[in-house]
A = this chain, B = another copy of it.
Amino acid sequence: MPEKEIYYANGQFIASDTPAVTLKDLSVQRGYGIFDFFRFQNGKPLFLSDHLERLQHSYRTMRLVPNESLDELAQIVESLILRNKLTDGGIRIIMTGGDSMNGYDLGQTQTFATVQPLQPIADSFPRTGIRLLTRNYQRQLPEVKTTDYLMAVWLQPWMKEHNGDDILYHDNGCIRECPRSNFFMFSNKGSLVTPSNGMLKGITRKNTLAVASKLKISIEERDISVDELDHCKGCFITSSTKRLMPVHSIDGKIVSGELLGKIEQIWYELIQLENSFL
């Protein structure tokens, strides 16, 4: 790996600490940006086409018009991995509203990509689980992967004070997602339930549903009320960075581990899916 990471900024490769964004850019002035993030392992990006497709959905919904095609973005990703001499890490492609003439109307979309080294996710099942804290909050434009993490970043000290590992957003009692993960629950009838509205549809969420279907687990994509958590048979969250993490407790109440074995099966199948890229 070079001394400093090498990033991509609008057609150029730059050192990671080189300023690349002007003060007129709508990301700085108005928080207007989208991104996608994915891991690479042994130099191979995982589920790249899924991530690029979601990126396209995000930039189109936000009316951003990048100069780069999806094929060109895939080449930039490959180039970033090679130039940074990394085998395992994460890549973030960011697109912003660009330099605005009046601080409000969109300018030319700016495309950036950053890279960071990451250890591959451990290959032993994370049995201990994480502690979630619920919070009433609905993300704006939830189906788009915007750069709006204002609330999540702002809540970090609160979360740590209350011994939480992550936050579970609900919209007036209706569970949505964690700031960077999707939420799954085994209902008291043994179905795997996950929200499908008011949240971002993760790539690992999609893979989890595919795997569960293969394992003949009954699936329900529907709203989950906070009250329903008391009677569930197990919960977990999924994300590209964490893959799958069982939930140990929610607001201090221990979550049932009755179907932990099934969660471990899903976790195992997710690794098999990842391995198909290597």
CB pair B23 A7 closer than 8 Å: yes
Of B28, B35, B154, which one neighbours A21 at CB under 8 angstroms?
A: B28
- CB-CB < 8 A to A99: which residues of B? 17
- The answer to whether A150 touches B22 (Cβ under 8 A) is no
Q: Would A24 and B114 count as touching, CB distance under 8 A? A: yes
Closest chain B residue, CB of each to CB of A105: B156
As a 0/1 sequence over residues 81 to 121 of chain A, the CB contacts with chain B under 8 angstroms (1 = contact) are 00000000000101011010001111000001010100000
Confirm or deny: A220 has a beta carbon within 8 angstroms of a beta carbon on chain B.
Answer: no
Complex CA gap A67/B178 in Å reads 33
Inter-subunit contact B23/A33 (CB<8 Å): no
Neighbour of A141 across the interface among B25, B104, B150, CB < 8 A: B150
Q: Report yes or no: B16 in contact with A22, Cβ–Cβ below 8 A.
A: yes
B-facing mask of A1-39, CB < 8 A → 1, else 0? 000000101000000111111111111111111010000
* Cβ A28 vs Cβ B147 within 8 A: yes
Q: Does A146 contact B (CB under 8 A)?
A: yes
Q: How many residues of A contact B (CB 8 A)?
A: 49
Contacts of A31 in B (CB 8 A): 27, 31, 33, 146-150
Q: Chain B nearest CB: distance from A115 CB in Å?
A: 10
Q: What 1/0 flags go to A148-167 for Cβ under 8 Å of B?
A: 11111110110000000000
**Is A62 part of the binding interface, using a Cβ–Cβ cutoff of 8 Å?**
yes
Q: Chain A, 41-75, contact with B by CB distance < 8 Å: what is the 0/1 string?
A: 00000000000000000000011000000000000
Residue from the list B23, B97, B152 in contact with A20, Cβ < 8 A? B23
A65 CB → nearest B CB, Å: 14
A94 to B109, CA, bound (A): 21
- Chain B residues near A16 (CB, 8 Å)? 22-24
Given A28-B147, A146-B31, A148-B31: A94 in contact with B156 (beta carbons within 8 A): no
> Closest residue of chain B to A26, judged by CB?
B153
Q: Tell yes or no: A140 within 8 A of B by CB.
A: yes
Residues A94 and B22 in contact in the complex (CB < 8 Å), given A62-B154, A151-B140, A153-B106: no
Instruction: Give 16 A-B contacts (CB < 8 Å), ordered by A residue.
Output: A19-B19, A20-B21, A20-B22, A21-B28, A23-B94, A28-B28, A28-B33, A28-B147, A29-B92, A29-B94, A30-B147, A31-B31, A31-B146, A63-B157, A104-B149, A141-B154
Q: With contacts A28-B33, A106-B153 known, what are 17 further pairs, Cβ within 8 A?
A: A7-B23, A16-B22, A16-B23, A18-B19, A18-B22, A19-B20, A19-B21, A20-B21, A28-B28, A28-B147, A29-B35, A29-B94, A30-B147, A30-B148, A30-B152, A92-B103, A140-B140
